[in-house]
Amino acid sequence: MRAEFPILSQQVNGHPLSYLDNGATTQKPQRVIDTLRRYYESDNANIHRGLHSLSERATRDCDKARETIRSFINASDQREIIFVRGTTEALNLVAQSYARPRLQADDEILITTLEHHSNIVPWQLVCRQTGAKLRVAPIHDSGELDLEALKGMLGPRTRVVALTHVSNALGTVNPVADIIEMARAQGAITVLDGAQAVAHGAIDVQDLNCDFYAFSGHKVYGPTGIGVLFGRKCLLEEMEPWQGGGDMIRTVSFEESTWNELPYRFEAGTPNIAGIIGLGAAIEFMASIDMDAVVAHEKDLLAYATEALDGLSNIRIIGTARHKAGILSFVMDGVHPHDIGTIADQHGVAIRAGHHCAMPLMKRYRVPATSRASLALYNDRKDIDALVTSLQKTKEIFRL
């Protein structure tokens, strides 16, 4: 698959590129790049309102992308697929359009210690606006959720359970199906942050039985600035629009306005047309791959990387859950993660260094930041070997 991604053929600082920052963004296969170029060269026009050929072609391709995504995550209806800028906007949409009008003082929203800031801050805002309370389920030292504690925190005041499917900072794969069942037994709706999950295994929203599922295009080999919110149709139909403007309306007068049908009610203004079409191409690419093979490949690579880092002194892996996706966070005693990242880059290795938009989780582990290597289907053992070489060089420089 590596040959499908032209950016990976380059050298960085005199070394072959080993791109291990896929948790931040994935690279794009040639077919996605070609699709974006073709749209801008041949079909660039606004959608839905034009009667000319360019608009009709662009509209057709956007509609096709929506159906491709619906099929990929097995939503029951195209109207359940809402295009947004990314996971962050999707979660804010649910918080403001679904939760805010329904929550009252002392209602509860339950999240977990593993959350990305995008699944913390929107709920904090809603709590300020409504008087609801934000509760946080703890984790074990391994990075696994404390399911007994979470179950004990669910109660008759729980209205929303929002959690990550896969932790972006640790790689922990949460048992979301079990948690959804627990939440449903209490009458709570469930919101899943799927940003780190969609590229690493098959997603079936009907099988999960979740109410909302959000993910970003750029983390599933698609363009930036585009994402998807899946919402159960019966819930979306009850929700008021979050943003007003063109295409989300049916009628407008100075006295009142009425709303368009789903999904357009939540897609105000000119959308990221190229992004939608490019995401459709990325999902077609994903659908053409044996996802079981991807899972097996990344599992093997994660085991190889874990063993390699375990063999280095002064390095401690943060997050050792039994079920992990291809994310490896670690710290090196006496060396700041930014220095590790800088030296890795000198060896052509791209990793992430920082708090990974998970500051409360870093606080839980009493570290300011970690270094993070995150895997994709185009990575191989040579990438891990290059990372290890850069870490050995780091130890030499810092005389460890």
Q: Taking the domains of the chain in order of start, what are their residue ranges?
A: 2-22+290-397, 45-287
Active site residue 357: yes
Q: What is the pLDDT of residue 205?
A: 98
Q: What is the pLDDT of residue 152?
A: 97
Q: Whole-angstrom Cα distance, residue 48 to residue 45? A: 10
Q: What is the pLDDT of residue 172?
A: 98
The dotted CATH code for 45-287 is 3.40.640.10
Mean pLDDT of 137-146: 98
Mean pLDDT of 314-323: 97
Predicted confidence band at 1 (pLDDT cuts at 50, 70, 90)? confident
**Is pLDDT at 110 greater than 80 in this prediction?**
yes
Q: What is the pLDDT of residue 42?
A: 97
Predicted confidence band at 2 (pLDDT cuts at 50, 70, 90)? very high
Q: Whole-angstrom Cα distance, residue 61 to residue 42? A: 12
Q: Whole-angstrom Cα distance, residue 55 to residue 77? A: 24
**Is pLDDT at 15 greater than 90 in this prediction?**
yes
Q: What is the pLDDT of residue 122?
A: 98
DSSP 326-373: SEEEEEETTB-HHHHHHHHHHTTEE-EEE-TT-HHHHHHTT-S-EEEE
Q: Whole-angstrom Cα distance, residue 261 to residue 245? A: 14
Predicted confidence band at 374 (pLDDT cuts at 50, 70, 90)? very high
pTM here is 0.97
What share of the chain in percent tops pLDDT 90?
Answer: 98
Q: For the chain, what is the radius of gyration of the CA atoms?
A: 22
Q: What is the pLDDT of residue 222?
A: 98
Q: Whole-angstrom Cα distance, residue 400 to residue 387? A: 17
Q: Whole-angstrom Cα distance, residue 262 to residue 396? A: 59
The number of residues in the chain equals 400
Q: What is the pLDDT of residue 246?
A: 87
Q: What is the pLDDT of residue 41?
A: 98
CB contact at 8 A, 354 and 369: yes
Lowest mean pLDDT among 40-54, 112-126, 183-197, 358-372: 40-54
Alpha-carbon distances, residue 46 vs 36, 39, 268, 279 (angstroms): 15, 11, 13, 17
Predicted confidence band at 304 (pLDDT cuts at 50, 70, 90)? very high
Residue that the structure tokens 């499917």 belong to: 165
Residue that the structure tokens 């504690």 belong to: 149
Q: What is the pLDDT of residue 204?
A: 98
Q: Whole-angstrom Cα distance, residue 120 to residue 365? A: 18
The listed CATH number (3.30.1540.20, 3.90.1150.10, 3.30.2000.10, 3.40.50.970) that belongs to domain 2-22+290-397: 3.90.1150.10
CA quadruple 263, 265, 270, 271: dihedral sign:
negative
Which of 305, 234, 237, 304 is closest to 266 using CA atoms? 237
